Amino acid sequence: MIYFAMSKGRLVEKSAALLKKCGVDVSVLLEDTRKLVLESPDKKFGFFLVKPADVPVYVESGVADLGIAGKDTLLEEDRDLYELLDLGIGKCRLCLAGPPERRSALTGPHLRVATKYVNTARRVFAERGEDVELIKLNGSVELAPVTGLSDVIFDVVETGSTLKANGLVVLEEVISGVSARLVANKVSLKLKSADILPLVEKLKEVIA
């Protein structure tokens, strides 16, 4: 059996659609259930439903052989695993965003930046030689500049609708091409290559 760590939330349906095109029976993924371990009816695949940030944890440990995670999460977690494929789904970008008046005042000391991605933000600002105050949040990041908790945010932007609904704008696109990736545990790729590699080839065909 191949064990997959899958992000709960917006990536599940798109990931399931891709796997279905490869002949994987994903019917269990589309069921409305609170179960966190699911098995395909043919017992070829097991699925663990986890928070997006935990996909790399499960794959690095080997508990899951494969995983589907956003590049944003992979950059942030920086785990020891193989990134096999860009699946081309969940496309977004990591941006600095804030109120429109920040357009002319994006840099400067003591800029307060709220983000779920503190490790990535720390690297980005260190490379620029900019000293900022990072405020770690776990969600609803757009609320921070609206309430005065931060000056700007560093976050993923997909459609831009959350920014717009909260009166915020993209100030700078920092990392583009953020999309979902197929990742593999390094040992699993060797031990289960006979099962994993044909699936990777099928996925390549489907994406193309």
Q: Which is nearer to ligand PRP, 131 or 172 (CB)?
A: 172
Smallest gap from residue 190 Cβ to ligand PRP (A): 34
Q: Which is nearer to ligand PRP, 38 or 157 (CB)?
A: 157
Smallest gap from residue 201 Cβ to ligand PRP (A): 31
Q: How many residues does the chain have?
A: 208
Q: Which is nearer to ligand PRP, 147 or 161 (CB)?
A: 161
Site for ligand PRP in 133-162 (CB under 6 A): 139-142, 155-162
Asked if 69 is part of the footprint of ligand PRP (rule: CB under 6 A), the reply reads no
Smallest gap from residue 57 Cβ to ligand PRP (A): 18
Q: Which is nearer to ligand PRP, 114 or 184 (CB)?
A: 114
Minimal CB distance to ligand PRP: which residue?
A: 139
Smallest gap from residue 27 Cβ to ligand PRP (A): 25
Binding interface with ligand PRP (CB under 6 A): 139-142, 155-162
